[in-house]
A and B are shown apart, each in its own frame.
Chain A
Amino acid sequence: MSLTTIFQAIVGGLLLGGVYALLAAGLTLIFGVMRVINFAQAEFMMLGMFGAYFLSTWFSIDPLLLTVPVGIVIGALGLLMAQGLLERVPRGDHNAQLILTLGVSLVLQNLALLLLGPTPRVVVRPYTNAYWSPAGLFINHARLYACVASLVIMLALYLFLTRTWTGRAMRATADDPLSAGGVGVNVRRIHVIAFMVGSGLAGLAGTLIATFNAAAPSIGNNFIIIMFLAVVLGGLGSVAGATLGAFVVGLVQSMSGLLLPLQLQNVMLFLVFVLILLVRPQGLFGFRQRV
C-alpha cells in the first residue's frame, strides 16, 4: 500500500468529515438543548438537497451561493415541526419524542417520493467533475468547496453559540434548563430556536452535498448512522465534540476501506459506535454530559 493511497484515504475522509460535521452539529445541538434525538435530521438534509437542485436549476444560481437561503427555509420547516409537533409531546417523554421524529422522517421521505418522484436529481457545475491533483492525490473540487464552506459555517455557529445572547442561552439551557429558566431564559422558545438551527444546519449540509451527490427521496438513509456515530463520538450535546467526531468518522470510514475488505467498511463504523457507547458514553472527547 503506497503512501499516496494512505494520504488519499486521509484526505478523502477529512473532506467528507467536514460535511458530516454540519449534520452532526445540528443533531447534537438539538439533543443538547431539547434532549430529543431528531431522526428526521437526514430528511431535512434531503430537502435541502432538493431545494438546492430546484433553485439552482430554475434560477441558474450556484448551489454554494444558495446555502444560506436554503438553510433558512429548511430551518423554518424545522421551526414548524418543533412548534407544531414536538412541543405537544410531554416534556421528558423521550420515547414519544423519538417515535415522533421517526414518524416525521417517514412522512418527509415519502412525501418527497410522492411529489418529486424517485428520479435522482443531479446538480452539475464546473467544479463537480474537476479535480485538483497535488502530489498524486485526487481532490474533487466540489467536495473541497463543500468542506471549506462547511468549516466556515461551523465557525459562524461557534461565534453564534459563544458571542450572541441566544447562543449562550442555548448553551445554558443545554447545561441546566432549570437554572437557565431561573435567569430569565424562555426555555420553550430556546427549544424551538435550537431545533430551527439544528434542522437549518442539515439543510445547509444538503445544499453542499448536492454538489457531489444526487438528490433523491431516500438519500437520507445513507447518512443516519454516520450522523449518530459522529454525535456519540463527540458526546451527545457537545457541538465541538460532534465536529471532531464527524472528522473521525470520515477518517474511520475511509481508512477501514483500506485495511478491511471494502464491503466491511461500515462494520468498523458500527463497531466503533457500539464500543464508544459501552465504554465511554460521554464520548471520545469527554465533554461533561448531563444525561
Chain B
Amino acid sequence: MAFGSGCEHFGSGREMVASGVRAQGLGALQSRLRAYSVPVIACGVFIAIVSQITDFYLSRLAALIAFWAAVGMTWNLIGGYAGQLSLGHAAFVGLGGYVALVLQQEFGIVPWLGLLASTFAAGLAALIVGAPTLRLSGIYFSLATLAYPLILQVLFTYWGYQEALIPAHPESPFLFMQWRDNRWYAAIFGMILMLCWLATVFLERSHWRYLLTAVREDEAAAAAVGINTWLVKLWAFVISGSIAGMLGVIYAQMLFVVTPETMFGIGVSVQALIVNLVGGPGYAIGPLLGTLITVPISQALEAQFGSISGAAQLVYGLVLIVVVLTIPHGLMDELRRIDPAQYPTLGRIGSLLMRGTTRAAPPSVPGVVSSPVSAPVGKGEVLLKADGLGKAYGGVIALRDFNLEIRQHEFIGIVGPNGAGKTTLFDLLSGFQRPTSGRLYLRGENVTRSAPYRLARSGVRRTFQIPRPFGRLTVYENAMLGGLVGGTEVARSSMEEAIWRPLRAVGLAHLANKHAESLGPSQIRLLEVARALVSRPLLLLLDEPLAGLDPSEVHELIDILRGQQAEGLTIVLVDHAIETVAKIVERLVVIDNGLLIGDGVPAEVTRMPRVVEAYLGSRWDDARR
C-alpha cells in the first residue's frame, strides 16, 4: 500500500471505537452494561436511602452532597479531563441561579422553564467567555477565569440583587420547585448527578477520552496529531458551564435567599475544585469520592468548631495542604498506582471504583484515519513549498527569505550549526509558528496562516526535539492517537494493521501495553515516529531525531526511516550533525544565520566552502585534505 495513494478509506474515529466494541460481541455488551449501570444503580440506592431520612439536617446534607458532587463532575470536564484549571466555575453556577431567579421575579416564569433558560444562558456565557480565554494556556487561563465570577458578582449587586428572595409559593411546591422537604432536592440533584456520571462514563468509553487526554497531557503534541485543541477544550467548557448553570437554578431554589456572594463567591469555585482535587480529577468517580469525603468533614468541622471563630475554616485549609502534599493527583490516582500484590484490599477497592468507568485496556479496534488526500499524489509532486519564508522576533531575524520545495518521495536533511535558525524553520514548516514574511504552500494550497492541527490533518506530521509522548497512555494508545483524527471511510480489517505496522516497524510492538512514561529515551523517540506514521502521512518532519542517541540507536532509526521512505514516505530531517545526516539523505539543505547556504546532493554540499566555514571554519577543509 503506497502512502498517500488515496485508495484507503479509513473511518471516523468515533465510529470505529463504537464498532470496535460491537465487533467484540457479548463481552463488550456486558462491559458496557456494567459501566452504565453503575451510575444508575448508585442513583437508585441514593434515592432509596434518602427517602428514608426524616431528619431535616441529614436530608439537606444528602442534597448538598449530591449537588456538590454534580458541580464537581461538571468541573471535572474542563479541569480534570481537559486539564484546564478553572478557578471561576462559580460564574456558571451563579449565572444559572440568577437568570432563573430574575425570570421568576420579574416575569413570573416558573423555575422549570427557568432551568432551560439558565442552562442555555450559562452555556452561551461559557461559549462567549471560553472562546477567547481557552486560547490561553496554563496559569493565564486560570487567572482569567478568576475574573468572571467577580464581574458577575459586581454586576448583579449593581442591578439590585444583593438580597433576592425566591418568590414564595407554598401552595404549589412542584410547580415552583420549592419543597419544604429537602429530600426532593436531594432526589433531583441525585438524578442530575447520575446524568453527569453517565455522560462521563460515555466520554471515557469513547474516543473523546483520548482527545481530552491528549489535550491535557500535551497540547503541542495533540496539535501535532491533528487535534484542534481549542475546539476540544471549548466543547468541554461549554458543556461543563451549561450543566453547572442548571445546577445553580436548583441550588438557588433550595437556599431560598440568594446573595451574590453565595452564588458567585470564591468559595463555590474553590469547593468545585477541592472535591476534584481530593477525589481525583480526570476520573469519573473522582468528584463523587471527593465530595463524600470533604462535605461531611467540613460539616463535622462546623458542628464541632462552628462556635470558635475561624476554627473550621482553619482546619479545612490544613486539610487542603495535607491533601496536596500527600495525594497531589487525588485519591483515585493513588488507588490506581497501588500495587495490588502489596496492598490487596486497597487494590480491590481501587479496581472496584474504577470498574466499568476507566478503561483498563484501550478499545480493541480503534478508529484510524489516513491522510485525507483529495487527489492522489503524483510522483515528484511538490508537497510543501516554502516561498520566501522569514521570521523575526522583535529586532532579531531568525530566518530570512527561505525557499524550499519538498517533493514527494524525497529524503531531505536540513542542517545547520547551532543558532542557525533550524528550530524556527522547523516550526514554520510544520505550522507551529507563523512566519513574519513569506508563504507556505501545501500541495499548492496556501497554508501560511493555518493552525498546526490543520497541517497535521492534511498529512504533515512531525516529531519533537524533546519527545512529547502522552505519558499516561500506553504505547498502543499513543500510536492510536496518531491516527484518531481526521478522515474518510475505511476498510475495517486494515485498521488494526494501521497501528501495528508502525509499531512493529519501530520495534515497539512488544511494549504495546506499557505506559509511555516508562519507556527509555530512545524508545520514546521511536514511539513518536510510530505515532506520526500511523496516519499514513504525506510528509514526515523529524526535529533533531539523532540528538542523544548512541550509534546503534542511530543506526536503528535510520534503518526504520529508510524502510519507510522505500514505501513511499517523504521525509525531512532537521539536525545539526552534518556528517551523519549527509550519509543518510538524498538531498542536503544547509542554513546558517537564518539564510539558506546550500541545497543539493550531500557529497557536493558538504564540500561547499560556505558550508564548511559555517560549521568548522577553514580548518575542516584543511584537515580533510
- Nearest B residue to A107, CB-CB: B317
Contact mask for chain B residues 291-317; partner A; CB cutoff 8 A; 1 contact, 0 none: 000000000000000001111011011
Question: Within the complex, what minimum Cβ distance (angstroms) separates B332 from chain A?
Answer: 15
Contact A278 B328, beta carbon cutoff 8 Å: no
Kindly identify which residue among B143, B273, B324 contacts A89, using a CB–CB cutoff of 8 Å.
B324
Contact A107 B321, beta carbon cutoff 8 Å: yes
A228 to chain B: which residues have CB within 8 Å? Answer: 143, 146
A270 within 8 A of B: yes
- Nearest A residue to B148, CB-CB: A274
A267-B155 contact in complex given A232-B143, A274-B148, A278-B133, C-beta closer than 8 Å: yes
Contact B328 A90, beta carbon cutoff 8 Å: yes
- Nearest B residue to A105, CB-CB: B317
Contact B309 A99, beta carbon cutoff 8 Å: no
Binds B, one of A111-119, A145-153, A187-195: A111-119
Binds B, one of A164-172, A199-207, A243-251, A258-266: A258-266
A278-B310 contact in complex given A103-B318, A266-B154, A270-B147, C-beta closer than 8 Å: no
Question: Within the complex, what minimum Cβ distance (angstroms) separates A141 from chain B?
Answer: 32
A85 to chain B: which residues have CB within 8 Å? Answer: 321, 325
Bound complex: CA A89 to CA B135 (Å): 27
B309 to chain A: which residues have CB within 8 Å? Answer: 113-114, 117-118
A112 to chain B: which residues have CB within 8 Å? Answer: 310
Task: Tell me the count of chain A residues lying within 8 A, CB to CB, of chain B.
Answer: 46
Question: Within the complex, what minimum Cβ distance (angstroms) separates B274 from chain A?
Answer: 8
- Nearest A residue to B328, CB-CB: A96
Q: Counting chain B CB atoms within 10 Å of each CB, which of A217, A281, A288 scores highest?
A: A281
B603 within 8 A of A: no
A82 within 8 A of B: no
A274-B144 contact in complex given A85-B325, A89-B325, A225-B150, C-beta closer than 8 Å: yes
Contact mask for chain A residues 67-95; partner B; CB cutoff 8 A; 1 contact, 0 none: 00000000000000000010011100111
- Nearest A residue to B277, CB-CB: A99
Bound complex: CA A62 to CA B278 (Å): 46
Contact B158 A106, beta carbon cutoff 8 Å: no
A273 within 8 A of B: yes
B406 within 8 A of A: no
Contact B139 A110, beta carbon cutoff 8 Å: no
Interface residues of A, Cβ cutoff 8 Å to B: 35, 37, 85, 88-90, 93-96, 98-100, 102-107, 109-114, 117-118, 217, 225, 228, 232, 236, 261, 263-264, 266-267, 270-271, 273-274, 277-278, 281, 288, 291
Q: List 14 A-B contacts (CB under 8 A).
A: A85-B321, A89-B324, A95-B85, A99-B324, A103-B319, A106-B316, A109-B313, A110-B310, A111-B310, A225-B147, A225-B150, A266-B154, A274-B144, A277-B144
- Give 4 closest A-B pairs by Cβ, nearest first: A106-B317, A103-B320, A113-B310, A110-B310
Interface residues of B, Cβ cutoff 8 Å to A: 85, 132-133, 135-140, 142-144, 146-148, 150-151, 154-155, 157-158, 270, 273, 277, 308-311, 313-314, 316-321, 324-325, 328, 394
